[in-house]
Each structure stands twice: as structure tokens, then as C-alpha cells.
Structure 1
Amino acid sequence: MLTITKRLEFDAGHRIPDHKSKCRNLHGHRYALEITLQGEPIDSPGASDNGMLMDFSDVKQIAMEHLVDIWDHAFLVYEGDSLMQLLLSGLPDHKTVVVPQIPTVENLAIIAYQILAPRYRQRFGAKLQLAKIRLYETPTSWADYTASN
């Protein structure tokens, strides 16, 4: 099976409320998101994307629309962190994204997969699937979430 990967970057803040160290404080990261798609190249002579799994510009457009533009320069807050939600709600025009799990890089990779997988499937059906999400929290620390098929 052939794979392609597109890398996108965004900035976001978060906190890990119960962390034993400084990560319990408000802080941010320059995240890098790698989207790996798996499938067979398109066989459609004369088509713009003939010979490709998916045009990289389309991979990017879907990820930007459904995830990156939403998370970029936002504060990612756990839905159970009511104190942080209260604080952020008092900031006018603040970009807050509430997530269902504590926003560790591991959980954010899973959430990113859950958001993006149906979007790529919607576009190409069973011919193409989101195989893996790799989310870097720092240049030396990341989490991978792989499709379980």
C-alpha cells in the first residue's frame, strides 16, 4: 500500500490541569501535524491528480478547514477543566476550543484523527484512508495515532 504525508504547523496553548510539574500551567507550543494517507494512486488519464493518492493541496485544504484553522492560535481546554473555561470566558473575543479529553499530545493526536478521518473518507470513500496522524508538541516529542483497521 502506498502512503503520502503532508506536514502542517500551528500554534496553540493548553494546560494539563493535574500534571505534577510545570505543564499544569498555561503554556503554548508550535505544533506540527503530519497527516499520512494510504491507498492506491488515481488512475484517471487526463485528470489533474492522475497518478497521485490525493493532491497535496487537497490534503492541506481539508486539514486546514476542519482542524488547523480551528486550533491555530487557540487555547485548547479540557471540557472538565471548569476553572479554565470560566477564566477564558471572561476574555473578550478569545479563541477557545473545548476538547473532550485533557489536551495532552497523545489525546490531541487521537482527536485530530477522529476529526480528519471521516473528511478524507468522505472525499474518496474506501479508495483512500487516513492511516496515521503524527502530532509534534516539540521538535523532539510527538505522538502517533494509527488507524486500527
Structure 2
Amino acid sequence: MLLRREFTFDAAHRLSKYHGKCERLHGHTYRLAVTLEGKPDNEGMLFDFVELKGVVQGAVLSELDHAYLNDIIDQPTAENIAMWIWRRLEGSVRRPNCDLKSVQVWETADCSVTVEAGDMS
């Protein structure tokens, strides 16, 4: 079973190792989807949606929202942002009945990156 919750955050960055207009300072309204995989517990839930919101707010959004991402992540591409988020969440959402399945980050409405467990090995 999969459980998914979505979030948004606004941030600025520049891609200094990229040659094109994105090497200049600019911003995005990012969309983030966090997906957990597992089985419902004795309360009938895979993970409490309210608790997941708190975990993501505390571990991710509190640092990334309205931030200059280059101060936090080297070369903050969508790929590197997704991997940074994965590392921040993996231990916090692990339960006997579930684990982190994927982190998806949209830089624009039609461009996203998905990181899954096997990608982080």
C-alpha cells in the first residue's frame, strides 16, 4: 500500500555549474510529494497524515521554504534537492510497518525528478 502527501515551497537558486539561463539567480514554487510504502498498523493507518506533515515541515520545509538553496545544497538541481530531502526524511518516517518509498520534486508544473530507495544506494 502507498501513502502520499504533497507540499509546496518557494525558494531561489542558481546553478553555477550549468551553462544557460539557470546559472543566473531565479526562483521557483516547488512541489514535493512524499510517498511511503507499507501496511496499515493496528490503528488501520500506514502513517498519520498529520504526523507526516509535521515531519516534513520540521525536517525539510523549515529549511527550504523562502531560502536561497545554494546556501544549503551544493548545485541545487531538482535531482540534488530530491536526494537532500530523501536523506532528511528517511529515518524520520521509518516505522515497523512502513518505509520511505519515493520523494518527487517538481521544479515547474511539468518538470519533476523522483528519487526511490534503490537510487540512494
Output the CA distance in 1 between the equivalents of 2:31 and 2:62.
13
Match of 1:87 in 2: none
Number of positions where the alignment pairs a residue of Structure 1 with one of Structure 2: 119
Match of 1:3 in 2: 2
By how many angstroms is 1:127 displaced?
1.9
- Kindly provide the amino acid, as one letter, of the partner of residue 17 in structure 1: S
Output the CA distance in 1 between the equivalents of 2:114 and 2:5.
14
Matched, 1:102 2:75: yes
User: What is the RMSD computed on CA atoms of the aligned residues?
Assistant: 1.2
- Kindly provide the amino acid, as one letter, of the partner of residue 66 in structure 2: H
Q: SS where residue 111 of structure 1 aligns? A: helix
Match of 2:112 in 1: 142
Runs of 4+ in 1 over 3 A off after TM superposition: none
By how many angstroms is 1:25 displaced?
0.3
Output the CA distance in 1 between the equivalents of 2:109 and 2:41.
33
Say which one has the larger Rg. 1
Match of 2:37 in 1: 38
Output the CA distance in 1 between the equivalents of 2:110 and 2:93.
28
- TM-score if structure 2 supplies the norm length? 0.93
Q: SS where residue 92 of structure 2 aligns? A: helix
Match of 1:114 in 2: 87
Gaps of 5+ in 1: 44-49, 78-96
